[in-house]
């Protein structure tokens, strides 16, 4: 069937569906649009609590400990004196307690905490953007840091950051998987990061979720992907073969969606290991059975829903989903799965694999999460309030010791592409558009009214093109150049520091800041100046420092250093042609600050 004919059929079906919905809206004349709430469909709907597992978390930041006198400085050799020293310290944080033998007990120390730096790091890690100094002062400085972290973890921004992270892990792509399944999986991740689902429950549902099974070719691939995703390693040959038996009934196909009026890629269940009378065929049942971790079978009997011995996954019952989730039930109780989960949380925030150096930390962290009912937010809280996280990246004038363990200085990480663009745009009051991790390929849905409504209800925006409204690609084009907004089909997320990246970032900043002060270019100069200052104000050292105070506080979330003040003074005295203005200085300073390494690494 040709593309134009499919599009006509899709539009016709959507028009009829929209008409039916509008006529059934309780007679009140309101049209029910096809948006986020209507799109989510899948097994994720069947799980979740109404109240969160936790509203707060025990422990918090520990006191600032002194290293043990006489420690040899060897983090891998904790003797009796070292252990006794650690046992006598009043730990609040489980990570601090576990790392002590390799840190304070060994005679090593952390870097002095700089509150502004720690608060800025917390914002970008949990809210996905850099804050201004005034936001930091209001939300963080002078407050109990444990309370601040709890508040950040209970925010919608934290949930969204978790959803975007799992979109990469699960490879969301609406060309390969039904967009309705993607929306369901995204809501499931939202429940996980809201404390409404235990981590082992999440593992169970994902193990048989169409967004996972439809993404892979065959049973063996699904078994391997399950281990890689949740165990943190590929399966051994016998594990792969045995677990593949439980995935043998999954089949990749297509389903005609009446709401969208389009044919969507989706998962089906093939009724294998069943005889002609519908009973289990013992001669073939072994190919649907796992025996490596106990006796488990995944067999569904066909009924009126089946067509050509296949049943669409959208027609499955909760009981059938429970059977299909057997692989997740098996591994969900494994210590390795919980250890891998907390190890990834640690890596996410610290930037290195602490489990490789100190397995005791991972064991302690798993116990802490289980004490909080399997709520993964507990792991995030423990890391974000640990002494390893709450220390400075600045090693002082002498620099960091060459062989110093990574846990003796603060984490330094590269900013994600979306986080950088979102931060720069927000700080300058610029609206570049957005991309939506649930719909990497929005144009594929625009062939029907329902699909258009869904894209319009998403984070994607439209702009006027030559022939009408088109998806605004300004944001995604830039961010994909920098390694973000992956389509998960031809490209994934990546991080790189290269000439291309640097040129793209500097071009974006130059477009907004307009350092050459070209007429009609860049953001309004008022957003670059302190409140009440005119762009025509004559530039002198006092004005230069006022602008510096404002922009460093707004962009970098701190106060200027003495060296920065000296440079501002020098710039105000050397500027040509005189008399220079506050507006000219502000545009040049904006470019310098927003293209600096402090905006690319944090």
Q: How far apart are CA 544 and CA 528, in angstroms?
A: 12
- With 0-12 / 13-18 / 19 or more C-beta atoms within 10 angstroms meaning exposed / middle / buried, residue 107 is middle
pLDDT tens digits, one per residue of 358-412: 999 999 999 999 999 999 999 999 999 999 999 998 877 766 777 889 999 999 9
> CB of 106 within 8 A of CB of 78?
yes
pLDDT at 347: 97
Percentage, residues of the chain above pLDDT 90: 84
276, pLDDT greater than 60 = yes
Q: Which of 288-297, 320-329, 573-582 has the lowest mean pLDDT?
A: 573-582
pLDDT at 544: 97
pLDDT at 24: 40
Average pLDDT over residues 559-579: 92
pLDDT at 175: 96
pLDDT at 12: 38
pLDDT at 114: 85
- Which residue, 117, 150, 155, 154, is CA-closest to 136? 117
> CB of 284 within 8 A of CB of 273?
yes
Can you read off the two tokens belonging to residue 16?
């009829």
21, pLDDT greater than 70 = no
Sign of CA dihedral 162, 164, 166, 168: negative
Can you read off the two tokens belonging to residue 567?
């440079």
> Residue 383: helix, strand or coil by DSSP?
helix
> What pLDDT band is residue 19 in, cutting at 50, 70 and 90?
very low
Q: Which of 43-47, 199-203, 294-298, 399-403 has the lowest mean pLDDT?
A: 399-403
pLDDT at 39: 92
Q: How far apart are CA 434 and CA 474, in angstroms?
A: 8
1, pLDDT greater than 50 = no
Can you read off the two tokens belonging to residue 425?
């745009």
> CB of 157 within 8 A of CB of 127?
yes
Q: CB neighbours of 386 closer than 8 A, spacing ≥ 6? A: 61, 62, 93, 95, 96, 99
23, pLDDT greater than 60 = no
pLDDT tens digits, one per residue of 243-255: 999 999 999 999 9
27, pLDDT greater than 70 = no
Query: Quick count: other Cβ atoms within 10 Å of Cβ 3?
Result: 8
pLDDT at 32: 58
Q: How far apart are CA 63 and CA 387, in angstroms?
A: 9
| Mean per-residue pLDDT over the chain, rounded | 92
> CB of 31 within 8 A of CB of 21?
yes
pLDDT at 11: 36
Average pLDDT over residues 151-179: 97
Q: Write down the domain spans for the chain.
A: 80-153+335-408, 518-600
> What pLDDT band is residue 15 in, cutting at 50, 70 and 90?
very low
Query: Quick count: other Cβ atoms within 10 Å of Cβ 325?
Result: 23
20, pLDDT greater than 50 = no
- Which residue, 319, 391, 504, is CA-closest to 110? 391
- Phi, psi at 94, each rounded to 5°: -65, -35
Average pLDDT over residues 558-586: 93
Percentage, residues of the chain above pLDDT 70: 94
pLDDT tens digits, one per residue of 77-130: 899 999 999 999 999 999 999 999 999 999 999 998 888 999 999 999 999 999
pLDDT at 4: 41
171, pLDDT greater than 90 = yes
Q: Which of 71-80, 351-360, 470-479 has the lowest mean pLDDT?
A: 71-80
pLDDT at 18: 40
């Amino acid at each position: 069937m040709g593309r134009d004919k499919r599009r006509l059929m899709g539009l016709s079906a959507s028009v009829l569906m929209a008409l039916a919905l509008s006529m059934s809206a309780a007679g009140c004349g309101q049209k029910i649009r096809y948006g986020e709430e209507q799109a989510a469909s899948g097994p994720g709907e069947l799980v979740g609590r109404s109240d969160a597992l936790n509203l707060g978390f025990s422990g918090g930041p520990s006191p600032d400990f002194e290293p043990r006198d006489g420690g040899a400085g060897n983090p891998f050799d904790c003797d009796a004196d070292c252990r006794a020293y650690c046992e006598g310290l009043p730990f609040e944080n489980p990570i601090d307690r576990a790392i002590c033998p390799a840190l304070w007990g060994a005679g090593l120390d952390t870097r002095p905490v700089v509150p502004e730096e720690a608060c800025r790091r917390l914002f970008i890690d949990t809210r996905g953007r850099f804050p201004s100094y005034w936001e930091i002062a209001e939300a963080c400085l002078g407050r109990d840091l444990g309370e601040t972290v709890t508040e950040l973890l209970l925010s919608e921004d934290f949930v969204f950051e978790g959803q975007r992270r799992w979109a990469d892990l699960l490879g969301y792509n609406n060309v390969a998987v039904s967009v309705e399944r993607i929306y369901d999986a995204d809501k499931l991740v939202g429940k996980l990061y809201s404390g409404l689902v235990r981590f082992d429950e999440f593992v169970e549902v994902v193990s048989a979720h169409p967004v996972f099974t439809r993404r892979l070719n065959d049973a063996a691939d699904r078994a391997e992907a399950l281990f890689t995703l949740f165990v943190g390693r590929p399966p051994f040959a016998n594990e792969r073969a045995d677990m593949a038996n439980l995935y043998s009934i999954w089949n990749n196909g297509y389903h005609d969606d009446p709401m969208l009026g389009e044919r969507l890629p989706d998962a089906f269940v093939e009724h294998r290991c069943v005889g002609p009378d519908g009973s289990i065929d013992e001669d073939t049942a072994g190919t649907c059975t796992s025996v490596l971790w106990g006796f488990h079978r995944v067999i569904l009997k066909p009924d009126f829903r089946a067509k050509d011995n296949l049943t669409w996954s959208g027609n499955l019952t909760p009981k059938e989903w429970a059977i299909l989730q057997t692989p997740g039930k098996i591994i969900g109780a494994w210590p390795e799965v919980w250890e891998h989960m907390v190890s990834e949380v640690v890596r996410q925030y610290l930037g290195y694999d602490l489990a490789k150096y100190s397995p005791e930390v991972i064991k302690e962290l798993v116990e802490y999460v289980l004490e909080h009912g399997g709520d993964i937010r507990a792991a995030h809280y423990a890391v974000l309030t640990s002494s390893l996280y709450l220390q400075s990246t600045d090693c002082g004038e002498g620099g960091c010791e060459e062989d110093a363990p990574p846990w003796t200085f603060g984490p330094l990480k590269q900013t994600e592409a979306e986080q950088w663009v979102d931060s720069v745009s927000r700080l300058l009051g610029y609206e570049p558009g957005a991309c939506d991790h649930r719909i990497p390929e929005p144009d594929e849905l625009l062939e029907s009214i329902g699909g258009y409504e869904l894209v319009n209800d998403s984070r994607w925006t439209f702009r006027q093109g030559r022939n009408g409204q088109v998806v605004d690609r300004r944001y995604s084009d830039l961010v994909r150049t920098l390694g973000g907004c992956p389509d998960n089909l031809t490209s994934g997320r990546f991080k790189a520091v290269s000439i291309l990246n640097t040129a793209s970032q500097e071009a974006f900043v130059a477009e907004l800041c307009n350092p050459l002060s070209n007429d009609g270019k860049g953001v309004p100069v008022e957003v670059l100046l302190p409140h009440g200052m005119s762009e025509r104000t004559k530039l002198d050292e006092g004005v230069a420092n006022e602008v510096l105070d404002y922009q460093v506080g707004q962009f970098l979330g701190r106060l200027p250093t003495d060296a920065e003040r000296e440079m501002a003074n020098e710039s105000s005295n050397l500027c040509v042609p005189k008399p220079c203005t506050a507006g000219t200085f502000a545009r040049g300073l904006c470019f310098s600050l927003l293209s600096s390494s402090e905006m690319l690494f944090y």
